[in-house]
Amino acid sequence: MLSKRIIPCLDVRDGKLTKGIKFKGNVDIGDPVEIATFYYEEGADELVFYDITASSERRDIMIDTVRRVAEKIFIPFSVGGGIRTVEDMRRVLLAGAEKVSINSAAIRDPGLIHRGAEAFGSQAIVLGMDVKKVTPSEKTPSGYEMVIDGGRTSVGLDAFAWAREGERLGAGEICLNSIDADGTQQGYELPLTKLIASNVAIPVIASGGAGYSRRGGCSACRIHHPLWHLHHSTDKVLPS
CATH code of residue 77? 3.20.20.70
Q: Which of 236, 183, 238, 226 is nearest to 37 (CA)?
A: 226
Residue 227: which domain range?
Answer: 5-233
Q: Is the pLDDT of residue 75 over 80?
A: yes
Q: Which of 77, 91, 21 is nearest to 45 (CA)?
A: 77
Residue 165 lies in a domain: yes
Residue 239 lies in a domain: no
Residue 235 a catalytic site member: no
Q: Is the pLDDT of residue 59 over 90?
A: no
- Cβ neighbours, 10 Å, residue 154: 14
What mean pLDDT do residues 225-237 have?
42
Question: Which residue of the set 88, 130, 158, 182 is catalytic?
Answer: 130
163 CB-side CA count, 13 A: 29
Number of domains observed in the structure of the chain: 1
Q: Which residues contact 135 (CB under 8 A, 6 or more apart)?
A: 143
pLDDT digits (tens, 9 = 90+) for 81-108: 889 999 999 999 999 999 999 999 999 9
Name which residue leads in pLDDT, 74 or 54.
74
Residue 118 lies in a domain: yes
User: How many residues would you count in the chain?
Assistant: 240
Residue 159 lies in a domain: yes
**Amino acid 229: pLDDT:** 41
Residue 136 lies in a domain: yes
209 CB-side CA count, 13 A: 21
What mean pLDDT do residues 148-160 have?
91
Residue 192 lies in a domain: yes
- What's at 143, amino acid-wise? G
Contact 34, 42 (CB under 8 A): no
Strand pairing partners for 177? 130, 207
Q: Is the pLDDT of residue 234 over 50?
A: no
Residue 51 a catalytic site member: no
Name which residue leads in pLDDT, 218 or 30.
30
d(CA 158, CA 145): 5
- Cβ neighbours, 10 Å, residue 134: 17
DSSP β-ladder status, 220-223 and 5-13 = parallel
Q: Which residues contact 17 (CB under 8 A, 6 or more apart)?
A: 10, 11, 28, 29, 30, 31, 32, 35, 226
pLDDT digits (tens, 9 = 90+) for 193-217: 899 999 999 999 887 655 544 444 5
Residue 240 lies in a domain: no
Residue 238 lies in a domain: no
Mean pLDDT, all residues of the chain: 81
